Chains A and B, each alone.
Chain A
Amino acid sequence: MNYLHIELERPRVAVFDFTDCEGCELQLVNKEDTLVPFLRSIELVNFREAMSETSDTYDIALIEGAISRSDEVERLLQIRARARVLVAFGSCACFGGVNRMKNELSAEEANRIVYGAVSKETLPVRAVKDVVPVDFSIPGCPVNKVEIERIVQHVALGVPFAFEPYPVCVECKQRFTTCLMDLGQLCLGSITRAGCQAPCPAGGLGCWGCRGPAEAANVTEFFALTKERGFAPREVGERLNFFGGFGDAQREGDR
């Protein structure tokens, strides 16, 4: 990496995928206007979806996906032993993601519905941090490439990165999006961690809470508001449960 003739060290980055859709790692090759400088700012040494090159020596392991099979546990332990820094990359890795909704069923029931008599191995879905220590978590379904670029810049400069403490609501106001709650749609924007730039409400979809709770989320007030606006508890519950990031908030709602 060279800017103004100054060389900075490129971290060796390895990407690994587990129980997921591989949409987060795809973001690494999206945002094409800055793709070339981005790929020059890091040294990708393992990225199975896009590269045949491999290496067992890396600084940063980006872990995409939840963990739901014994071979995945083994593979993750091996990666943890090799990586200096292990990053939970995307909501599946951070919280279990949508996959976690499988845990509402027993393995037998899930297998019966999908595979009939020929069942396949599956474990209760876990977030990466429930299997190995995680150094840093980047939520989002998918992760936001703009945020990834910012984090990489922080890493290159050695300046700690901090997520915005405020919720998605603030980013909606910043881009002048009409409040969807005011239009009668359920939206988790008031309690969900910002940093995504609020694409869902701008596209006409209430926030689904993929990034989990904001540091400054007022969950009690959110429940009072959904009650006042007449949203059914089933709808609010389904929404909070969707990406797995709101475990605690949901329990508060159940009380």
Chain B
Amino acid sequence: MKLELNVDVHHLTRVEGHGNIVVKVRGGKVDEARWDVVETPRYFEAMLRGKHYTSAGILTARICGICSIGHCLASVRASEQAFGVEVPELATKLRLLAKHGETLQSHALHLYFLAAPDFVGLPSAIPLIETNPAVVGIAAKIKGLGNRLCEAVAGRATHPVSIQVGGMARVPDKKRLRELRDELVALGPALTTTVELFQTFKIPAFSRATEFVSLKGDKSYPWVGGDLVSSDGVHKSERDYRAMTNEWVDERNTSKWCKLSRASFATGALARLNNNYALLGHEAQVVAKAFGLLPVCHNPFMNTVAQLVELVHVVYESIVLIDELGSVSPNASTMGEVVPRVGRGVGAVEVPRGILYHEYEYDKDGYVKTANCIIPTTQNNLNIHHDLRALAEHYAPEEGMTDAKLELLCAMLVRSYDPCISCSVH
């Protein structure tokens, strides 16, 4: 057994944003294990003050370049809750379709471009363009379809334009939706290939018991709004999100920390799946079972597999959504009436990396007085931090362990959370 091991990763690669990993093993014992978030803060909650409600969603979309649709949805939901706006059903369905497009592109990006290279011993997916163009083609096909769904419904994939307080500013072209439906149906073989590819990957057998927080699905797998639930049995309403996150400022990190019943908790695809497994579609459950992924799974590396399960789920749910949209009258309204008033509203949305909360307090003219955004990766950061120590303790005694091997395991662990670090600091 190696008595001394060192991992020192400055600005971890293949994740969104800037974070560092430090692990020191001395005398065979883990002396130090840290996840440091060093991202530059942008002070969104300060910039939101004094902004008109029509600007809030446009500004907060810029918190994240990967899940801007999720931020926009949480933002408009918070404003709508504050003003008591009734969003037409057609708009709700369109929003969900845009969200599924985002989940598709974001999960595909993580699965193929950020996570997969570690399992095949490559530094990135770029060399595959020459050595295995077929796999890059499949990744681009899935991710591209997600982006085109977003463009058709929300006007743009990154920083959407049609999602506005009240509903949706326009209805997508029906012919375009039918084309996208055909593409979704035709995606089957690409999904099968993806599942087969990931089945060849050796996922580290590591577990650390933790708490999982997500929205609580009622009749369907949850995405937008509703009650909050944890795998330790905590159940709260959307408005009580602060009691679910208990955020505080840490001296060392620009991201805040969160906790609930234990030292830390996790949110994301694995949390959603652990808490809402029975609500996954049949096709998605088949994939989950093929990987032996059943609730409650405490292996953080399985979050990547949970994303794959969700990828399959949203493809099939999107087909159903487009069918439902086809039967809606073309003259149906997509915008509810918006009358600003003094009030406070909360929007909770399950975005690719977990549960996202926006809360705004408005004055009578619809200008933001105070704002609070709690990001999924903010909630995950402390869990990642504690996981790193447990991971080092688990693998350090292993025969033949080296600095490089431990570094790869640590990097893979952090990547499995698909962290959005800029977002977590915002």
Contact across chains for A52 and B40 when beta carbons are under 8 A apart: no
Counting chain B CB atoms within 10 Å of each CB, the highest count among A19, A32, A120, A141 belongs to A32
Question: What 1/0 flags go to B226-238 for Cβ under 8 Å of A?
Answer: 0000000000000
Contact across chains for B158 and A27 when beta carbons are under 8 A apart: yes
User: B249 to chain A: which residues have CB within 8 Å?
Assistant: 115-118
Interchain residue pairs with CB less than 8 A apart (25)? A17-B18, A17-B422, A20-B65, A21-B62, A23-B158, A25-B65, A32-B147, A51-B14, A52-B117, A97-B62, A98-B47, A98-B59, A110-B46, A111-B43, A113-B43, A114-B41, A115-B249, A199-B155, A203-B154, A203-B161, A204-B164, A204-B170, A205-B58, A205-B162, A238-B52
A30 to B136, CA, bound (A): 13
Residues of A within 8 A of B (CB-CB), count: 61
Minimum CB distance partner of A141 in chain B? B159
Give which listed residue, A22, A53, A54, A142, contacts B126 with CB less than 8 A: A53
Contact across chains for A51 and B158 when beta carbons are under 8 A apart: no
Q: Contacts A21-B423, A235-B52 given; indicate if A204 touches B11 (C-beta within 8 A).
A: no
Q: How far is the CB of B365 from chain A (nearest CB, A)?
A: 10
A98 to B44, CA, bound (A): 9
Give which listed residue, B17, B59, B124, B141, contacts A50 with CB less than 8 A: B124
Contact across chains for A52 and B14 when beta carbons are under 8 A apart: yes
User: B52 to chain A: which residues have CB within 8 Å?
Assistant: 235, 238
Give which listed residue, B129, B133, B141, B157, contacts A30 with CB less than 8 A: B157
Minimum CB distance partner of A144 in chain B? B156
User: B40 to chain A: which residues have CB within 8 Å?
Assistant: 18-19, 68-69, 72, 122
In the complex, which residues 291-306 of chain B have their Cβ closer than 8 Å to any Cβ of chain A? Answer: none
User: Which listed segment binds B: A3-11, A36-44, A155-163?
Assistant: A36-44
Q: How far is the CB of A92 from chain B (nearest CB, A)?
A: 9
Contact across chains for B13 and A30 when beta carbons are under 8 A apart: no
Give which listed residue, A21, A47, A53, A203, contacts B63 with CB less than 8 A: A21
Counting chain B CB atoms within 10 Å of each CB, the highest count among A27, A47, A113 belongs to A113
**Is A85 part of the binding interface, using a Cβ–Cβ cutoff of 8 Å?**
no
In the complex, which residues 134-186 of chain A have their Cβ closer than 8 Å to any Cβ of chain B? Answer: 141-142
Give which listed residue, A21, A23, A115, A200, contacts B161 with CB less than 8 A: A200
**Is B169 part of the binding interface, using a Cβ–Cβ cutoff of 8 Å?**
yes
**Is B271 part of the binding interface, using a Cβ–Cβ cutoff of 8 Å?**
no
Other A-B pairs beyond A36-B137, A113-B43, 12, CB < 8 Å: A18-B40, A27-B158, A32-B147, A40-B129, A48-B13, A102-B42, A102-B43, A116-B249, A141-B159, A205-B169, A208-B58, A242-B55
User: B64 to chain A: which residues have CB within 8 Å?
Assistant: 21-23
Question: What 1/0 flags go to B61-79 for Cβ under 8 Å of A?
Answer: 0111110100000000000
Contact across chains for B133 and A36 when beta carbons are under 8 A apart: yes
Contact across chains for A22 and B140 when beta carbons are under 8 A apart: no
Contact across chains for B68 and A51 when beta carbons are under 8 A apart: no
**Is A202 part of the binding interface, using a Cβ–Cβ cutoff of 8 Å?**
yes
Residues of B within 8 A of A (CB-CB), count: 63
Q: Contacts A21-B423, A23-B66, A48-B11 given; indicate if A122 touches B41 (C-beta within 8 A).
A: yes
In the complex, which residues 126-141 of chain B have their Cβ closer than 8 Å to any Cβ of chain A? Answer: 126, 129, 133, 136-137, 140-141
Q: How far is the CB of A60 from chain B (nearest CB, A)?
A: 16
**Is A109 part of the binding interface, using a Cβ–Cβ cutoff of 8 Å?**
yes
Q: How far is the CB of B411 from chain A (nearest CB, A)?
A: 8
Contact across chains for A32 and B143 when beta carbons are under 8 A apart: yes
Minimum CB distance partner of A72 in chain B? B40
User: B114 to chain A: which residues have CB within 8 Å?
Assistant: 50
User: B254 to chain A: which residues have CB within 8 Å?
Assistant: 120
Give which listed residue, A102, A141, A205, contacts B47 with CB less than 8 A: A102
**Is B34 part of the binding interface, using a Cβ–Cβ cutoff of 8 Å?**
no
Contact across chains for B156 and A199 when beta carbons are under 8 A apart: yes
Contact across chains for A109 and B46 when beta carbons are under 8 A apart: yes
**Is A99 part of the binding interface, using a Cβ–Cβ cutoff of 8 Å?**
yes
User: B422 to chain A: which residues have CB within 8 Å?
Assistant: 17, 20-22
Q: How far is the CB of A204 from chain B (nearest CB, A)?
A: 3
**Is A83 part of the binding interface, using a Cβ–Cβ cutoff of 8 Å?**
no
**Is B15 part of the binding interface, using a Cβ–Cβ cutoff of 8 Å?**
yes
Counting chain A CB atoms within 10 Å of each CB, the highest count among B47, B49, B154, B156 belongs to B47
